[in-house]
Chains A and B, each alone.
Chain A
Amino acid sequence: AQKVTQAQTEISVVEKEDVTLDCVYETRDTTYYLFWYKQPPSGELVFLIRRNSFDEQNEISGRYSWNFQKSTSSFNFTITASQVVDSAVYFCALSENRDDKIIFGKGTRLHILP
């Protein structure tokens, strides 16, 4: 069975600090896909990144970076020099190749304090 664990329920940091959101997943498939989504107070889920299980390269996009480690089944997300606009709920999600479901973790609520 597939499972996504985001152990951090809520995090508060002061603006300009770096922050890392943890994500640990479980799956029996060798082919799977990992995602991060951002949900601001407006409610819309914003797609941030998709990573397949065969691509362990870390990725950087501006202030965002992702560290994918199959050995520890983790797909962590780091925001560098955080800004107030980064305040949102962030969901890590997993999809196995066999079906079209995306299973979400419980989310991490991130507060960036001015």
Chain B
Amino acid sequence: DTEVTQTPKHLVMGMTNKKSLKCEQHMGHRAMYWYKQKAKKPPELMFVYSYEKLSINESVPSRFSPECPNSSLLNLHLHALQPEDSALYLCASSQDTLRNYGYTFGSGTRLTVV
């Protein structure tokens, strides 16, 4: 299995809703990432988990809450989002945070906040 699987593929949520994005990989990768990509912009790093511990938080607002329950799974919990948070949310994994192997990206969750 050489994939990163993200669910759901599309999500529409209201500003008062609570929802979660899920990311899963079974490649034995020990680093997992969340990126946010606005339309016609490059991906921007949000969070890095290394060996199931949060190692980088790029000053992301607290309405985004990451969770790494185990080495294969990464969640992003969403609460009280704003319309400007609408974007493509990409999950990625890599073998090891210190060796800069290429990331493997999932196909993303396209989020719309209404």
Interface residues in chain A, defined as those with a beta carbon under 8 Å from any beta carbon in chain B: 33, 35, 37, 42-47, 50, 52, 91, 95, 97, 99-102, 104-107
- The answer for the CA separation of A55 and B50 in the assembled complex, in Å, is 27
Q: A50-B101, A101-B45, A106-B42 are in contact. List 6 more A-B contacts (CB 8 A).
A: A43-B108, A50-B102, A97-B100, A100-B50, A100-B97, A106-B41
- The answer for the CA separation of A95 and B45 in the assembled complex, in Å, is 12
- The answer for the CA separation of A105 and B41 in the assembled complex, in Å, is 9
Across-interface contacts of A104 in B (CB, < 8 A) = 42-44
Interface size for chain B: under 10, 10 to 19, 20 to 34, or 35 or more residues? Answer: 20 to 34
- A100 and B110 within 8 A (CB): no
Partner of A35, one of B44, B102, B104: B102
- The answer for the CA separation of A97 and B101 in the assembled complex, in Å, is 11
Q: A47-B103, A95-B100 in contact; A100/B42 too (CB < 8 A)?
A: no
Interface residues in chain B, defined as those with a beta carbon under 8 Å from any beta carbon in chain A: 31, 41-45, 48, 50, 55-56, 88, 90, 92, 94, 97-98, 100-108, 110
Across-interface contacts of B110 in A (CB, < 8 A) = 43
- B104 and A100 within 8 A (CB): no
Mind listing 22 A-B residue pairs with CB under 8 Å? A42-B107, A43-B88, A43-B90, A43-B108, A43-B110, A44-B106, A44-B107, A44-B108, A45-B43, A47-B103, A47-B104, A50-B100, A50-B102, A91-B42, A100-B48, A100-B55, A102-B103, A104-B42, A104-B43, A105-B42, A106-B42, A107-B42
Query: Which residue, A43, A50, A52, A100, has most C-beta atoms of chain B within 10 A?
Result: A100
- The answer for the CA separation of A8 and B84 in the assembled complex, in Å, is 27
Across-interface contacts of B56 in A (CB, < 8 A) = 99-101
6 closest Cβ pairs, A-B complex = A104-B42, A45-B105, A44-B107, A100-B97, A47-B102, A33-B100
- The answer for the CA separation of A79 and B24 in the assembled complex, in Å, is 33
Across-interface contacts of A50 in B (CB, < 8 A) = 100-102
Across-interface contacts of A37 in B (CB, < 8 A) = 105
- The answer for the CA separation of A100 and B45 in the assembled complex, in Å, is 10
- The answer for the CA separation of A11 and B41 in the assembled complex, in Å, is 16
Query: Which residue, A42, A50, A91, A104, has most C-beta atoms of chain B within 10 A?
Result: A104
